[in-house]
Amino acid sequence: MKINPNTKWHQQTNVIHSGFSRSQNNETSEPIYLTSGYIYKTAEEAERRFLGESEGFIYSRYGNPTVNSFETKLSNLEGCEKSIATSSGMSAVSSTLLSLLKSGDHIISSRALFGSCRYVIEDILPKFGIDVTFIDGIDLDQWESAMKPNTACGFLESPSNPMLEICDISKISKILRSNKAKLIVDNAFSTSIIQKPIKLGADIVIYSATKHIDGQGRCLGGAIMGDEEFIENTLRPFTRHTGPALSPFNAWVLNKGLETLEIRIERHCRNALEVARELSKNKKIKKIIFPGLPSHPQYDLIKKQMNNSGSIVTFQIDGGKKDTFNFLNNLELIAISNNLGDSKSLITHPFTTTHQRLNLIEKEKLGIADNIVRLSVGLENINDIIYDLQKSLETI
């Protein structure tokens, strides 16, 4: 029995029930189709499949039932026409950009990006004759003035990694559309539970499924979502032949992650808000950045664009790099790790890790000082998370 997305059911019901067919064994949980290839009954059938005249799988680089199930669930959750799953968030970013852009095109990108996204745009795209302009993504005037006749797309993260800057997706998409340019949003920090960029006007949404979608630190994955025209005519030929395919095993794990995403996100957000409120009272903290606090400079936009404030809290220690490292090293429960969106609380020092390769001027423009830390608040008991932070702050 195949259960299709159905307006009769709510989002959470659809995520659990859509996108899979039961085998002849009528199992409750989806089977994993851990296969690289498929068998045709006749040579004629193989020919028809390759000609696209008959339906069915050909090869798992092209498509796989377990991966398809993940893609269908994601499309239902996001409210988009189509999705393609990829082996990591970065293969989603690079496949999107390399399939969409050609030599002579121009891309405008917010400069507040995760380090590897920035590397792809800044160092790889120009090698293929693509003109790149980095701007301050929260400044709409800079989007307007960066537009050129050959601008093909804009790229942004909102909230950004690690300084949690918020870009006005709706207004930026209008600016780009005036030139028929597409807006690509990396929605990794929000997930589609908190923010739906396509509904706000974005054309393409990207995820690192490694983060909250898995949410338990098990596997890498990614996804690209958009309209049928882009996914089928531009992206699919690219991914079929270049091969950033998601493994069926990882797709199965991520499918299980999707079933609990909504409730996990609610708890992540609740814990993060409590952490942010507690840390705002702590004298060892110089500055705290969190979308759920009225002190966030874009609090009004956050209320319009997001329905919750996320799991990441970024803060500045009142001290230097040595004090900041002491604080990190003295944590007992919260682990030092550059991953995020995990059930375990994880903390990182972006200056020396995820954003290490940026020069000092760029770091300064982004506000990434050596006493900034990014905390991914997990699902542990909130009292334990706060106790660990407070205890370690006392040692500074």
Ligand X SMILES: Cc1ncc(COP(=O)(O)O)c(C=O)c1O
* Residue closer to ligand X (CB basis): 86 or 271: 86
DSSP 56-72: S--BTTT--HHHHHHHH
Rounded least distance, CB 181 to ligand X, Å: 21
Query: Beta strands 372-376 and 204-208: pairing type?
Result: unpaired
CA atoms within 13 A on the CB side of 337: 16
Q: Tell me the C-alpha distance between 349 and 267, whole Å.
A: 24
Mention every residue, 6+ apart, whose C-beta is less than 8 A from residue 52.
Answer: none
Rounded least distance, CB 162 to ligand X, Å: 9
Rounded least distance, CB 254 to ligand X, Å: 11
Q: Tell me the C-alpha distance between 73 and 93, whole Å.
A: 20
Q: Tell me the C-alpha distance between 44 and 40, whole Å.
A: 9
* Residue closer to ligand X (CB basis): 14 or 161: 161
- What is the SS3 string spanning 322-358? HHHHHHHHCCCCCEECCCCCCCCCEEECHHHCCCCCC
Rounded least distance, CB 346 to ligand X, Å: 11
* Residue closer to ligand X (CB basis): 93 or 331: 93
* Residue closer to ligand X (CB basis): 121 or 279: 121
* Residue closer to ligand X (CB basis): 116 or 142: 116
Contacting residues toward ligand X, per CB under 6 A: 88-90, 114, 116-117, 157, 161, 186, 188, 208, 210, 220, 222
Fill in the amino acid letter for 133. T
DSSP 7-52: TTS-HHHHHHHSS-B--TT--SSPPP---SB---SSHHHHHHHHHT
* Residue closer to ligand X (CB basis): 339 or 390: 339
Mention every residue, 6+ apart, whose C-beta is less than 8 A from residue 8.
Answer: none
Rounded least distance, CB 219 to ligand X, Å: 9
Structure tokens at 133: 């302009």
Rounded least distance, CB 117 to ligand X, Å: 5
* Residue closer to ligand X (CB basis): 117 or 379: 117
User: Whose CB is nearest to ligand X?
Assistant: 89
Rounded least distance, CB 13 to ligand X, Å: 28
On whether the CB atoms of residues 261 and 369 are closer than 8 A, the answer is: no
* Residue closer to ligand X (CB basis): 222 or 378: 222
Q: Tell me the C-alpha distance between 275 and 52, whole Å.
A: 53
Rounded least distance, CB 322 to ligand X, Å: 26
Q: Bridge partners of 106?
A: 131, 151
